Every structure is written in C-alpha cells, then in structure tokens.
Amino acid sequence: MSKLTLDRILHTQGFGTRKWCRELIANGEVSIAGHVATDTNIPIETDGLEFEIYDEQWVFRKQVYIALNKPANFECSRKPSHHPGVLTILPDQFTRRDVQPVGRLDHDTTGLLLMSDDGAFIHTQSSPKHHVPKIYVATTHEPVTPELIEQLLKGVKLHDEPGSLAAETCRMIDSNHLEIVLEQGKYHQVKRMLAAAGNHCTALNRSQIGNLKLADLNLAQGAWCYLDAAQLTLLTPPFTKQT
C-alpha cells in the first residue's frame, strides 16, 4: 500500500513538473472516479488508482513494461541521429518518466521491442549473462542451404570479436528465410553472422524474446501495449528450447 498526493502522482507518471501538475489539478483537468479532483494535499492510495486527464483514462503504474511492434526506420535511441526515435511512437509521458528501449534493434529491423523505466528489468533483459533468447526471422539474399545453417550453428568469426559467435538454434523456414536464436545481442549480429557465412540479410524481424511471442500480442506495426504480470513471467527463466 502506498499513498501520494495527487500532484506527486501525476509527476511520477510523467505528466510534467510538480508545478505543472498542480496547475492541471487547479484547472479541473484531473478526475478520479468521475469526480473532478481539486485538492493536492490529501494523500491518495496509488494501488489500482485510475484517473482521467483531459478525458483520457490512465492507470497508476509504479513502473511500466511495454511491448512495441517496431516499424522500420526508427532508431532505438533517446538521441536519434538519422531517423525518428522509437519513443516518438509512445505518448510524451513515457519520455518524461525515462522509459528506455531494452537493448536495440537496427533502424531497419522490425519486430518485438521491450521498453521500460525499470533499470533492473532492462539490465536483466539486455545482459548476455542472463541468457534471454531472442528469436529473429531473417530474409536472405541468397538461398538458405544446409551448409549455411551448419555454419551459423557451429559459429562464425566476426571482426573485433575475440571468438566465434554461434546461433543457439537455427532452422530454415523456406528458400530465403531462416529463423535464428541468439543470446548475445552483439552489434548487427544477425546481419554480420550471415555475411560471415557467405550470405546477406535483406530484412530482419524479431519475433520473440524469451517465451514472449510477438504474434500472441496481436500488435500491428507501430502499435504498443503494456505487459501484464503473466506476460512478464514469459521473460524470465526457464525458457522453452526452440527446435
């Protein structure tokens, strides 16, 4: 159980400075249970709290866990250089509460991207020490062959990497598509591994993280959703082994 004053609640949810949040309240823009809230001094229970600002419904969340079906031509950076940042897809409140992408997808890579303001969650999902598998579907320029699959499973040497990198699992989907499972998350890893194995990646989509499948979230490209407790458990071990 936790209680906060209304201006502090709005501030923690990313609606602006404490001063600005007090102005929102004073102007009658905040409602709770259908009633306009005007008092900023009364502590309010935050667990399960629902409120409205400008007639839009919000639920208090101590921390947020978001899944985004990332479109192409968005950068996973708070300071993008050549393309819009993925945070521009979300409401402004998330930028103000320091929501960050969990790891990175290249600007032209699509698919499942996690975002959160929980530092421990971000670290666990990003660190190779925690062995969270990421599943990608790659479109290849040259046909997929058994020899290519064998090379990716055995390991290929990449420039600036001390040892070879291998896929956890890898399988052919059709003549120009393969599914590859990685845990490391190195820079441009799938593309570089395919190039080192003598092929070329023309498109890349991340379809799954841990046991959380993008297909099960029913998100169109560019759409996002909050992850609930049950979905978050799919991102923690044990993970289903891909075959």
Side-chain half-sphere CA neighbours of 124 within 13 A: 13
Report yes or no: 83 and 102 within 8 Å, Cβ to Cβ: no
Q: Which of 92, 98, 106, 160 is catalytic?
A: 106
Distance (Å, whole) CA 6 – CA 45: 10
Q: How far is CA 120 from CA 21, 78, 102, 123, 127, in A?
A: 28, 19, 11, 5, 11
Distance CA 183, CA 195 (A): 19
**Active-site annotation holds for 106:** yes
- Burial of 9-30, coded b for 16+ CB within 10 Å and e otherwise, reads bbbbbbbbeeeebbebbeeebb
Task: Output the six-digit token pair for 123.
Answer: 């670290």
So which residues are the catalytic ones? Answer: 106
